Amino acid sequence: SDTSLKATAAASGASATERFLTDKIGTSAPTDTARVDILATEIITALHDVIRRHQVTYQEYDALKSWLISVGQDGEWPLFLDVWVEHVVEEVAHSTREGSKGTIEGPYYVPAAPELPSVATLPMRAGEPGTPLCFTGQVTDVSGEPLPAAVLEMWQADDEGLYSQFAPGVPEWNLRGSVTTDDEGRFAVTTVQPAPYQIPTDGSCGRLIAAAGWHAWRPAHLHLKVSAPGHESLTTQLYFRGGEHIGDDVASAVKAELVLEPKPTADGGTEAGYDFALAPS
């Protein structure tokens, strides 16, 4: 494929940083002084402990300083945090929540995607590459009562692993939509199977991965935000049984409950079902 169309660190990092500053600023209210004192002190102390335990050198300290500066220059703080930190925040936030499992949001959500009916096709290009996927299911409360007019926001990478609005050359709302469930809480969405996603290798996060001998891959996934009045919104992802990197997601965001069982269809496509149960708010 044409490497000029690959998501570069500069392009996707700058977009993800801009997105975060637009959507999330103001929602992160400052906590009280005592809380900041404890958290900041313990984080800094944890770093001191690593330096002592591993006898970190001045050369390594300067490499760290230079790398931290470059993460900001590349706009890759959203990527770094969502890949290596968010999964623990999500675990802590939702450890006792009833209903379907959530997982990390990641850096590529965009609010206000095109509104679609309960039976819909995600916006896509004519001849969108990839295996057609019919994704069906039902949204209920935790007792199994259907939730009509629940909203299922979906976003995903295309067959090349590119996200619209974060990779160049992809139409603005490609493979993004807000689906409303029918009066039984059901939906049926036609899309294409996403490809596994490789985080940009040409930026600071890529340099860390190469330097540490890790890999840069996430398994193929659908992102979802499911919401209904009177219920807690669910941010989650769904994966595909047997998909590459299901067992070694760089972002540690796979859970056993979130793996779809895709079945081939007569017309050469794939179908998969998933039901969502939302906790009361």
Q: Which is nearer to ligand MBD, 228 or 251 (CB)?
A: 251
Q: Which is nearer to ligand MBD, 106 or 123 (CB)?
A: 106
Give the Cα-Cα-Cα angle 123, 200, 2 (nearest 5 degrees).
Answer: 65
Q: Which is nearer to ligand MBD, 182 or 202 (CB)?
A: 202
Tally Cβ neighbours within 10 Å of residue 120: 20
Q: Which of residues 60-89 bind ligand MBD (CB under 6 A)?
A: 79, 82-83
Give the phi and the psi of residue 237 in degrees, each rounded to 5: -145, 150
Q: Which is nearer to ligand MBD, 122 or 253 (CB)?
A: 253
Whole-number minimum distance, CB 182 to Fe ion, in Å?
Answer: 27
Among 99, 102, 106, 219, binds Fe ion (CB under 5 A): 106
What are 269's two structure tokens?
Answer: 């496509």
Whole-number minimum distance, CB 199 to ligand MBD, in Å?
Answer: 5
Tally Cβ neighbours within 10 Å of residue 68: 13
Among 19, 218, 225, 245, binds ligand MBD (CB under 6 A): 218
Q: Which is nearer to ligand MBD, 175 or 179 (CB)?
A: 175
Contact status: 107 vs ligand MBD (CB under 6 A):
yes
- Residue 66: exposure state from Cβ atoms within 10 A (0-12, 13-18, ≥19): exposed
In this structure, what DSSP letter does residue 181 have?
Answer: P
Phi-psi region of 230 (alpha: psi -120 to 50; beta: other; left: phi over 0): left
Whole-number minimum distance, CB 260 to Fe ion, in Å?
Answer: 15
Q: Which of residues 108-147 bind ligand MBD (CB under 6 A)?
A: 108
Whole-number minimum distance, CB 107 to ligand MBD, in Å?
Answer: 6
Contact status: 152 vs ligand MBD (CB under 6 A):
no
What lies within 8 Å, CB to CB, of 147 at 6+ separation is 139, 140, 141, 181, 185, 228, 231, 278
From CA 97, how far away is CA 90, in angstroms rounded? Answer: 11
Of 280, 260, 251, nearest to 104 (Cα)?
251
Stretch 174-213: interaction string toward ligand MBD, x if CB under 6 A: -----------------------x-x--------------
What are 56's two structure tokens?
Answer: 């970190």
Q: Which of residues 228-257 bind ligand MBD (CB under 6 A)?
A: 251, 253
Q: Which residues bind ligand MBD (CB under 6 A)?
A: 79, 82-83, 104, 106-108, 197, 199, 218, 251, 253
Q: Which residues bind Fe ion (CB under 5 A)?
A: 106
